C-alpha cells in the first residue's frame, strides 16, 4: 500500500516526517512525501494572533487529509488544537523525545539577579534586561515570572533562522524546544544548526513547564481509513498515557479560558502518572499537580484545581505556542 504523507516543508517538519516514512518503509509500505504550506509558514512576518485562530501550522494539512489529497499527516503534537475537525483521528503517537525547553544564549553577557522563588540555571546566566526571543505566551509568562527585568519579544522563522538572528545579536537568548534541536541535529543537511558558539541550557520541565505534548508527534489520518492499521505499529504505549493526560487537560483549559498554559506528565516508578501544570492569570502563575493511574481522570482532577483558582472573568489573552 502506497501512503501519501503530508508535511510542512521546514527542515524540522521534514526531519520528523522522513523518520516516520522510514519506519513505515521498514514495515513494507511504500510512501510518498507531499509538502504542504500552512498559514504559519506563509506569514512568518506576523505574530500568530494576527494570522488566525490556533492551528496555523496544521489547518491546510488537515484539509488535504479530509479531501483525500494525502493519507497521513505528521504533526508536532503541540501544534494541534485541542479540538480537531470531525472525520480525523490521531492514529498513533510514536515514542516521545524529551519535552523540555532549551534556553539558547549568547555567551557575552554578565549574570543578572535571581529574584524568583524557584531556581533555574538561567536565573544566574542572563544579564540584566536581556532581550529574549519567543513567540510563545507560555514561555513569556514563565520567563517574566523568574526574571521580571527580561525583555521578552516575539521571534518568528524556522530553527536555523532563529539561531542566525541570535548569532547576529538581535537577541541575547531565545527559547526553543529541545526535541526540535535533537531531531534537526540528526540531519546531515543541517549545517546551520551549530550550537558551539552558544550556551545551551535545558530547563527543568517540572519548573519551566512545557507545552502539552511537546516533544511528541501525532500521526493523523481519516477516521476508519486503512492507514490506521499501517501506522499502529508505530504507536508507543509508554508515551501515550502521559500525552493523553496533557492533551485532555489542554482540552479542558481551552474550554474554560484563553490563558498561557503548560502541562507536563510523566510516569512514576510505581506506575502512577504525575501531571504538573502552570497557568497565567492576572499577571501571576497558578501551579497545580496531581497523581493518578488514569490519564483522563488525572486531567479532570487538575482542571478542577485550576478552575477554582481562576478569577470569575478570565482575561482575553491568547495562548499560542511556537
Catalytic residue among 8, 140, 162, 222: 162
Catalytic residue among 8, 71, 79, 147: 79
Torsion of CA 167, 154, 16, 278, to 10 degrees: 120
Nearest by Cα to 58 from 85, 83, 33, 38: 38
Nearest by Cα to 145 from 284, 286, 292, 302: 284
Q: Which three cell numbers stand for residue 198?
A: 552558544
Q: Which three cell numbers stand for residue 194?
A: 551549530
With b for 16 or more beta-carbon neighbours within 10 A and e for fewer, the 280-319 pattern comes to bbeeebbbbbbebeebeebbbbbbeebbeebeeeeeeeeb
Catalytic residue list contains 139:
yes
Torsion of CA 143, 292, 273, 260, to 10 degrees: -20
> What's the rounded Cα separation, in Å, for the pair 306 and 321?
20
Catalytic residue list contains 257:
yes
Catalytic residue among 8, 96, 106, 139: 139
Nearest by Cα to 163 from 144, 185, 137, 140: 185
> What's the rounded Cα separation, in Å, for the pair 30 and 50?
39
Integer angstrom CA distances of residue 123 from 106, 112, 130, 203, 236: 15, 7, 11, 11, 36
Catalytic residue list contains 102:
no
Catalytic residue list contains 156:
yes
Catalytic residue among 19, 46, 59, 156: 156
- Strand, coil or helix: what is 251? helix
Task: Answer for the pair 276, 245: CB distance below 8 angstroms, yes or no.
Answer: no
The terminus-to-terminus CA distance of the chain in angstroms comes to 34
Catalytic residue list contains 78:
yes
Catalytic residue among 8, 96, 106, 138: 138
Catalytic residue among 101, 147, 221, 257: 257
Catalytic residue among 8, 78, 222, 288: 78
Catalytic residue list contains 162:
yes
Query: Catalytic residue positions?
Result: 78-79, 138-139, 156, 162, 257
Amino acid at each position: 500500500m502506497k501512503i501519501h504523507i503530508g508535511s510542512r516543508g521546514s527542515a524540522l517538519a521534514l526531519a520528523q516526517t522522513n523518520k516516520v516514512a522510514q519506519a513505515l518503509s521498514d514495515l513494507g509500505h511504500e510512501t510518498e512525501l507531499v509538502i504542504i504550506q500552512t498559514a504559519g509558514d506563509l506569514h512568518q512576518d506576523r505574530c500568530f494572533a494576527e494570522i488566525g485562530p490556533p492551528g496555523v501550522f496544521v489547518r491546510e494539512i488537515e484539509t488535504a487529509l479530509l479531501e483525500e489529497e494525502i493519507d497521513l499527516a505528521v504533526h508536532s503534537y503541540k501544534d494541534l488544537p485541542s479540538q480537531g475537525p470531525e472525520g480525523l483521528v490521531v492514529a498513533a503517537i510514536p515514542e516521545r523525545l524529551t519535552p523540555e525547553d532549551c534556553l539558547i544564549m549568547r555567551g557575552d553577557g554578565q549574570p543578572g539577579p535571581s529574584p524568583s522563588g524557584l531556581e533555574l540555571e538561567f536565573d544566574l546566566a542572563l544579564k540584566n534586561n536581556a532581550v529574549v526571543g519567543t513567540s510563545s505566551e507560555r514561555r513569556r509568562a514563565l520567563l517574566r515570572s523568574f526574571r521580571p527585568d527580561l525583555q521578552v519579544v516575539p521571534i518568528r522563522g524556522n530553527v536555523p533562522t532563529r539561531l542566525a538572528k541570535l548569532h547576529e545579536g538581535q537577541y541575547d537568548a531565545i527559547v526553543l524546544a529541545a526535541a526540535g534541536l535533537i531531531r534537526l541535529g540528526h540531519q546531515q543537511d543541517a549545517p546551520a544548526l551549530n550550537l558551539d558558539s552558544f550556551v545551551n541550557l535545558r530547563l527543568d520541565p517540572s519548573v519551566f513547564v512545557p507545552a502539552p505534548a511537546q516533544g511528541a508527534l501525532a500521526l493523523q489520518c481519516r477516521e476508519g481509513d486503512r492507514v490506521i492499521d499501517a501506522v499502529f505499529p508505530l504507536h508507543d504505549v509508554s508515551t501515550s498515557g502521559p500525552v493523553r493526560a496533557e492533551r485532555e487537560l489542554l482540552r479542558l483549559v481551552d474550554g474554560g479560558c484563553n490563558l498561557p498554559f503548560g502541562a507536563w506528565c510523566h510516569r512514576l516508578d510505581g506506575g502512577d502518572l504525575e501531571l504538573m501544570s502552570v497557568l497565567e492569570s492576572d499577571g501571576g502563575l497558578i501551579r497545580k499537580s496531581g497523581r493518578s493511574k488514569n490519564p483522563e481522570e488525572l486531567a479532570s482532577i487538575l482542571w478542577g484545581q485550576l478552575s477554582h483558582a481562576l478569577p470569575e472573568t478570565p482575561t482575553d489573552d491568547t495562548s499560542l505556542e511556537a
